[in-house]
Structure 1
Amino acid sequence: MRIFNYSKLKEKKWDLDVLSLVAGIYRYQGKQEFYLKEKNEELNKLIEIAKIQSTESSNEIEGIVTTKSRLKQIMEEKTTPKNRDEKEIAGYRDALNIIHNNFDIIPISKNYILQLHKILFSHLENGSGGKIKSSNNVIVANYPDGRSEVLFTPLSAFETPEALERICFEYNKVIGNAEVNPLIAIPVFIHDFLCIHPFNYGNGRISRLLTTLLLYQNGFYVGKYISLEAIIAKDKDYYYNSLNKSGANWHEGNEDPTPFIKYLLGIILSAYKSFEDRFTIIEDKIPAVEMVRKAVMQKIGRFKKQDIRELCPSLSISSIEGSLRKLVDQGDIKREGVGKSITYFRLK
């Protein structure tokens, strides 16, 4: 049986990269707390955008998709899911909403993780949610070019229930006793969860929900305003690579968690930077075209209308389209393509 001992993490000497990431996150966390005191109404719009992006991206990573219009209707509970993909999307929506609204009273335990998994699959008729895997499984990386690769063989189904209980116990112990910095304990817990791979289906999505939950419980609320899942989805290769590196010698308890810690801390820091970028745009009461101009100045390379929409949540699509046309006419940006394939890039 794999032995877990999170107390040993307090004795480990972390390299400068890890220490720099931790310091950077705390720096941005403090700045975010200051921003949130303003109670800007636009922040509520960021929350809704982040929920949609998180639900879309976390499912899309697993090949679960629907159209943008259907996604919006499902998120607003204005329609009934039509197929399995949409039912799983609705389940993620429900689980994410529960975390957003109740994170401070949710226990980190095997039973609650099972409950979260049950919620994820609550719209399916076969009752597959909330059950530990019934057979052994493997972690497979699926790449955009169609390739797949077995990255890791998790714990057996027989060992899984006890292991899941153990990592919850170890995590709660070091966090409750303030033995280990949560920015170290959280990635280690998530990595162990993924290596255990307790379910036949849905492990990745549950790991991302747990990441959001644990961050909220420790005062890191950036995922409420910026989708962590969307950042993860942009570079799955980096995710798989860090998981693979930290998974080496995991069964023997001799793994190096550093690659996965750096990966997850990098995601969190990137989200905080994105939050600050968006807040600096929405806090100024300026005309729509100037708000769009500020958003454009933050873009490097090609961008789409939706990229600007995310940076300017207070503006309607028609306002953004009109502002982009003005910037094209003024020679600030150039437009290429037609219809949904339209992209822009800066000329100045």
Structure 2
Amino acid sequence: MSLNTDTLTITPAILSLIAEIDEFKGAWRALGTLAPERLSALRRVATIESIGSSTRIEGSKLSDKEVERLLSNLEIRKFASRDEQEVAGYAEVMETVFAHFDAITPTENHIRQLHRDLLVHSAKDEHHRGSYKTNINHVSAFDADGKEIGIVFETATPFDTPRLMTELVGWLDATLKEQSLHPLLAIAIFAVVFLEIHPFQDGNGRLSRVLTTLLLLRSGYAYVPYSSLESVIEQSKEGYYLALRRTQGTIRTDTPDWQPWVEYFLRALQQQKKRLEGKIERERIMIDTLPNLSLQILDLAKEHGKLTVSQIVSLTGANRNTVKKHLQSLVSASHLIQHGTGKGTWYGRA
């Protein structure tokens, strides 16, 4: 397969979107000057949103709150449902990508390995983890209750899949090295063709979003872990499926129509960026308007690691009830995390 990208028209709208996203990419160092623990809290929220959204797009019913509770107990490694198995696998793969993206080149071996890890907790998928599909699989859409509402499009045959994946990975490698397309355009085209091939029996949608995050990080978009692209896609799911269908039906023709998907993809990245800008601004306003006692408590938590109400009262000389009110506000704003209950309660930085 030689992907014909000559039919992609770089419109003023596409140029404007790329420029806006790249401007934010360049400004991220200045924007990302929040304290490390606040950035860590932002990333945790975004990760929970990403895992919840990406699995719900594929039919899972777990809410973000349920995902958060599950992630806090991942060491259990026993999951009551397939939804929980999928969430656990997605969480672990995301952490791998965040921690090691510079070492994970988008080769077929690494793609298969990420697929294997994605489904590592699902016994039902054991026979095909990390292996290309052996049966036909079509892309289906699901409603809010997880019920399949129809086939979106047909995918590559199992016979053609190994060849098409080799060609796609080779195309991506050459395109990024030669810089013949802007990285965002190359990533968009890779994602839509990957989904058109649908190389694995299951998990392709989730894996496509993991690979998108990997490729964005490898291309220098370091802010990606702090704002959920998957959440943007979930909230524009109709547009997502429509753009996929309009482009994927043309990929194997002489004149592929890349425009619908590329424009959808760039607008999703724009929305991801805007959400993060809003979060950063709210964080700054919150810090700037915190009362002195709240700032003292945050500094003490940073210094001591864990604090009880009695310790804070002793260290600050503040009234016990006043300390409790400030702690409640700091926990509500995700500046602190409450651990335990009753006499065993203590607080640490988020």
Same fold (TM over 0.5): yes
Cα distance, 1:212 vs. partner?
Answer: 0.5
Larger displacement relative to structure 2 (69-78 or 134-143): 69-78
Q: Judging changes above 3 Å, is the alpha-carbon distance between structure 1 residues 105 and 73 closer, same or farther for their aligned structure 2 residues?
A: same
Aligned to 1:45: 41
Q: Could you say what secondary structure the match of 1:107 adopts? A: coil
Confirm whether residue 286 of structure 1 aligns to residue 280 of structure 2.
no
Cα distance, 1:112 vs. partner?
Answer: 1.2
Cα distance, 1:141 vs. partner?
Answer: 2.2
Cα deviation code 1:170-205 (max 9, x no counterpart) = 101110122211011000000000000111111110
Q: Could you say what secondary structure the match of 2:140 adopts? A: strand
Aligned counterparts, 1:31-42, within 5 A: 31-37=27-33, 39-42=35-38
Q: Judging changes above 3 Å, is the alpha-carbon distance between structure 1 residues 167 and 136 closer, same or farther for their aligned structure 2 residues?
A: same
Cα distance, 1:103 vs. partner?
Answer: 0.4
Cα deviation code 1:244-278 (max 9, x no counterpart) = 11123222242211111111111111111111111
Aligned to 2:104: 106
Once residues 81 and 147 of structure 1 are traced to their aligned partners in structure 2, the CA distance between those partners, rounded to angstroms, is 24
Cα distance, 1:71 vs. partner?
Answer: 2.2
Aligned to 2:191: 190
Task: Tell whether the 8 Å contact from 2:21 to 2:270 is kept in structure 1 after alignment.
Answer: yes
| Structure 1 residue identity aligned to 2:195 | L
Aligned to 2:165: 164
Q: Which has the larger radius of gyration?
A: 2
Once residues 13 and 69 of structure 1 are traced to their aligned partners in structure 2, the CA distance between those partners, rounded to angstroms, is 42
Q: Judging changes above 3 Å, is the alpha-carbon distance between structure 1 residues 19 and 68 closer, same or farther for their aligned structure 2 residues?
A: closer
Once residues 56 and 231 of structure 1 are traced to their aligned partners in structure 2, the CA distance between those partners, rounded to angstroms, is 12
Once residues 61 and 147 of structure 1 are traced to their aligned partners in structure 2, the CA distance between those partners, rounded to angstroms, is 11
Q: Judging changes above 3 Å, is the alpha-carbon distance between structure 1 residues 261 and 68 closer, same or farther for their aligned structure 2 residues?
A: closer
Cα deviation code 1:78-123 (max 9, x no counterpart) = 5332222211111111111100000011011112111111001111
| Structure 2 residue identity aligned to 1:135 | N
Aligned to 2:314: none
Once residues 68 and 209 of structure 1 are traced to their aligned partners in structure 2, the CA distance between those partners, rounded to angstroms, is 18
Task: Tell whether the 8 Å contact from 2:57 to 2:142 is kept in structure 1 after alignment.
Answer: no
Cα distance, 1:130 vs. partner?
Answer: 0.9
Task: Tell whether the 8 Å contact from 2:141 to 2:152 is kept in structure 1 after alignment.
Answer: yes
Task: Tell whether the 8 Å contact from 1:46 to 1:313 is kept in structure 2 after alignment.
Answer: no
Task: Tell whether the 8 Å contact from 2:24 to 2:273 is kept in structure 1 after alignment.
Answer: yes
Aligned to 2:311: none
Task: Tell whether the 8 Å contact from 1:142 to 1:149 is kept in structure 2 after alignment.
Answer: yes
| Structure 2 residue identity aligned to 1:107 | T
Q: Judging changes above 3 Å, is the alpha-carbon distance between structure 1 residues 69 and 190 closer, same or farther for their aligned structure 2 residues?
A: closer
Pairing partner for 2:118 from 96, 120, 133: 120
Cα distance, 1:314 vs. partner?
Answer: 2.4
Aligned to 2:294: none
Task: Tell whether the 8 Å contact from 1:282 to 1:314 is kept in structure 2 after alignment.
Answer: no
**CA RMSD of superposed structures (Å):** 2.6
Aligned to 2:2: 4
| Structure 2 residue identity aligned to 1:75 | L
Once residues 113 and 70 of structure 1 are traced to their aligned partners in structure 2, the CA distance between those partners, rounded to angstroms, is 28
Task: Tell whether the 8 Å contact from 2:3 to 2:171 is kept in structure 1 after alignment.
Answer: yes
Q: Could you say what secondary structure the match of 1:283 adopts? A: helix
Task: Tell whether the 8 Å contact from 2:49 to 2:64 is kept in structure 1 after alignment.
Answer: no
Once residues 232 and 173 of structure 1 are traced to their aligned partners in structure 2, the CA distance between those partners, rounded to angstroms, is 28
| Structure 1 residue identity aligned to 2:42 | L
| Structure 2 residue identity aligned to 1:136 | I
Aligned to 2:326: none
Name stretches of at least 5 consecutive residues in structure 2 with no aligned partner: 292-329, 339-350
Once residues 61 and 266 of structure 2 are traced to their aligned partners in structure 1, the CA distance between those partners, rounded to angstroms, is 27
Cα deviation code 1:184-236 (max 9, x no counterpart) = 10000000000001111111100110110110000112321011111111121
Q: Judging changes above 3 Å, is the alpha-carbon distance between structure 1 residues 117 and 54 closer, same or farther for their aligned structure 2 residues?
A: same
Cα distance, 1:148 vs. partner?
Answer: 2.0
Larger displacement relative to structure 2 (158-167 or 82-91): 82-91
Question: What is the percent sequence identity of the aligned residues?
Answer: 28
| Structure 2 residue identity aligned to 1:82 | A
Task: Tell whether the 8 Å contact from 2:51 to 2:87 is kept in structure 1 after alignment.
Answer: yes
Aligned counterparts, 1:1-348, within 5 A: 3-5=1-3, 8-9=5-6, 12-37=8-33, 39-66=35-62, 70-76=66-72, 77-79=74-76, 80-126=78-124, 127=126, 128-144=128-144, 148-284=149-285, 285-287=287-289, 312-314=333-335
Q: Could you say what secondary structure the match of 2:288 adopts? A: coil
Aligned to 2:321: none
Task: Tell whether the 8 Å contact from 2:51 to 2:90 is kept in structure 1 after alignment.
Answer: yes
Q: Judging changes above 3 Å, is the alpha-carbon distance between structure 1 residues 172 and 44 closer, same or farther for their aligned structure 2 residues?
A: same
Normalised to the residue count of structure 1, the TM-score between the two structures is 0.78
Q: Judging changes above 3 Å, is the alpha-carbon distance between structure 1 residues 180 and 157 closer, same or farther for their aligned structure 2 residues?
A: same
Q: Could you say what secondary structure the match of 1:140 adopts? A: strand
Aligned residues: 295
| Structure 2 residue identity aligned to 1:272 | K
